[in-house]
Amino acid sequence: MVTFAACGHTTNRTSQEAGTSAGALGIITYISHDPPELCAAFMSYYIGTQRIKPSDVFVIEVDAIPEDAIRSCYERAKLPAANIHRPKPNRAHQWNEGYRIEMFHRFERLLLRRLRYTHVLIVDLDEFVLPSPQYGGQILDYLQQSPYAQRGI
């Protein structure tokens, strides 16, 4: 069992349950007051086009509106419930950019160290990484082949 301390969330996922084969890519995104269509486009691109397994996509959700439409997006993408995290900041941590960045970095370290991903991509819901066709247009291929790709910690 892994505790996502940055998010105050516990999940029963182990490194064996995550997509942790050599070269595995984990994706972290943040959903707040985003339109449901953006969630659908994000999931379609990363899970469909980039062929990232739904079990390798992690969502940090804060006050997602409208909730039913966002839930429907997760279901259509077959996103595991254990990958959706709803943090509740304490009084010392308000939802500001500094706290958000700190939370992403803690989550990233957890994926790299505890769940043994080799790469983690942190993107907003409206960000779509388009790798060079030189690498087959696939993010993971780019990360594995490019001399410019940074390796995890």
4-50, pLDDT tens digit by residue?
444 444 444 544 454 444 448 999 999 988 888 999 999 999 999 99
Average pLDDT over residues 51-57: 95
* pTM of structure: 0.80
> Residue 79 above 70 pLDDT?
yes
Q: What is the DSSP letter of 149?
A: P
Higher pLDDT, 91 or 144: 144
Is residue 92 very low, low, confident or very high in pLDDT (cuts 50, 70, 90)? low
Total Cβ atoms within 10 A of residue 145: 15
User: What is the H or E stretch that residue 143 is in?
Assistant: helix 139-145
Percentage of the chain modeled with pLDDT above 70: 75
Note the pLDDT of residue 70: 87
Give per-residue burial for 37-76: e unless 16+ CB within 10 Å, then b: eebbebbeebbeebebbebbbbbbbbebeeeeebbebbee
Residue type, 26: G
Going by C-alpha positions, the residue among 109, 95, 93, 75 that lies closest to residue 30 is 95
User: Parallel, antiparallel, or unpaired for β 9-11 and 84-85?
Assistant: unpaired
Note the pLDDT of residue 99: 82
What are φ and ψ of residue 49, in 5° steps? -65, -45
> Residue 83 above 60 pLDDT?
yes
d(CA 132, CA 97): 30
Give per-residue burial for 117-131: e unless 16+ CB within 10 Å, then b: bbbbbbeebeeeeeb
> Residue 76 above 90 pLDDT?
yes
